[in-house]
Each structure stands twice: as C-alpha cells, then as structure tokens.
Structure 1
Amino acid sequence: MVSARRKAIESLYKGECTIKEFQSVKDPNTHITTNKEVTVLEEQKCKLSFEKQMSSTKTNAPAIIAQSTKLFIAPEINVKAGSKIIVTQNGRTNEYSRSGEPAIYMDHQEITLELFKGYS
C-alpha cells in the first residue's frame, strides 16, 4: 500500500523519464553478442530539481556559477551507474547520466545527475 506521504510527494512529479543502459545483447539469429543501448524503463513519473551554486571566494576573478540537477523518483527504481536518463519536464527533454549514489528514503529517492556525455 502506498503511503499518504508518498502520494503527496509523487503529486509534485511533473516529468517522465526513460532509463537506458548499454548492455551486451546476443542476436538470436547470428548468435553474435554486441553492445547496444537497451531501454529498461519508460514513462516513469519523476521530477527534476535545479540548484545554482556560486563560488564565494574573495578574488578579482568573476564568481563561478554551477548548476546541480537532482532527479526525484520512486524508491524501488534501480538506476545503475552509467545509465542514460532521458527526462521530459515542462516541455523540454534532456539526456542525463547518474553521477552519484542515490539518497534513498522511504517514499522517494534523490539522484544527482549530470548532462549525458556518453557511456563510460
């Protein structure tokens, strides 16, 4: 049974994601194994959160501004390191990869993302 707190958290999810992994796949006809991108999950409700971080060092150089991106998703989803995560939210679609270990809570998990640059 889904808790009321989890329902409340998931009511904030405004995006959907697709998770893809680079896996070894054996062709049933040729029996040759090749590495291919495989979709492991589609249309999973989620939410992206963005946070700007500024450096605050006292130098003559301009402040450095960075943005961190965090994905909120159901706690039972297993997102492997190196997976490609395609998120559509607010009419925009971007590709990310998991950059850190997820913080798993009772009703959700938070995964730090970075823009996808290729499979590692």
Structure 2
Amino acid sequence: MVSLNMIGNIAGRLYRHKCDVIEMKSQKGEINNTMPVTVLENIPCRISFSSSPANSRGKEVSSTGQKARLFLAPDVNIKAGSRIIVSGEGFKTEYECAGTAAVYESHQEIDIILRKQFA
C-alpha cells in the first residue's frame, strides 16, 4: 500500500525550482512604515503554466491569458499578497500570490500572477 508520506516524497522530487517569499512588514522609524522582508528562501517548488481564452469580446482583440500555479510542500506558509521570486533552469521571475493556497496532504497549490514592474 502506498502511504501519504511516500506520495509526498515523490511529489517533492518533481520540485525543480526554488522560490523566495517576500512580505511587507512594519518597520519602526520608517516614513513609509512598511518594508519588503524576505521571510522564506530557497524553498523547493515547481511552477506550472496553462492558457485560457480571454472572456472579453467586442472592439478589443481577443487574446489568451496565461495562468501560473506554484506547487510546494504542504508545510510552507505563504500569505496571500506575498511576492514570490521563482528561479531555476536559467530564469528568475517575480510573481504575486493571488490568493489562499489549496493545501493537500502531499502538497499545496497556489495561483500566482506575474508581478508588474514599474519604472
């Protein structure tokens, strides 16, 4: 019989990427009062992409949107709204946690969105 621990170990072997998690924390003496703080580093993960057709029609050109989902061990706690930097296989990309994680006994899944960079 396959145990949940074995399933978790198998899922962990699929984690080819690493991620860092950044949260905004209150800082005393700062004008803005919040600063980005790295709360987790080098967490094994896997990122998966899927495409979905856009729902808008009309004058705009129809396009496809890309969805990204992050897979992690179930014991990692990432808050909604956190910044997540995923790296591995020659890339490094910054995302935002789009909501609450779906946590299962063997893993968790978090919908993430590409973080917009402003000049």
TM above 0.5, yes or no, is: yes
User: What's the counterpart of residue 47 of structure 1?
Assistant: 46
The percentage of counterpart residues that share the same residue type is 35
- CA distance, structure 1, for counterparts of residue 13 and residue 22 of structure 2: 25
Equivalent residue in structure 1 for 2:14, among 12, 29, 34: 12
> TM-score normalised to the size of structure 2?
0.82
> Displacement of 1:71 after TM fit?
0.2
Q: Deviations over 1:39-71 (max 9, x none)?
A: 100000000000011258998975421100000
- SS in structure 2 of the partner of residue 86 of structure 1: strand
Deviations 1:6-41 (A, max 9, x none): 110010110000001010123xxxxx2532111100
Q: Is the 8 A contact 1:85 1:96 kept in 2?
A: yes
**Separation (CA, whole Å) in 1 of partners of 2:54 and 2:81:** 28
Aligned length: 112
Q: Check whether the contact 2:79–2:100 (CA below 8 A) recurs between aligned residues.
A: no
User: What are the residue-to-residue correspondences of 1:71-90 with 2, within 5 Å?
Assistant: 71-90=70-89
- Distance change in 2, residues 1:46/1:59 (3 Å): same
Q: Label 1:24 to 1:55 Cα distance change in 2 as closer, same or farther (>3 A).
A: closer
Unpaired runs of 5+ residues, structure 2, are none
Long gaps (5+) in structure 1:
27-31
Pairs within 5 Å for 1:26-45: 26=28, 32-33=29-30, 34-45=33-44
Amino acid paired to 1:18: D
Are 1:100 and 2:102 counterparts? no
Across the aligned residues of Structure 1 and Structure 2, the Cα RMSD in angstroms comes to: 2.4
CA shift for structure 1 position 82: 1.4
Question: 1-side partners of 2:88 and 2:108: how far apart?
Answer: 18
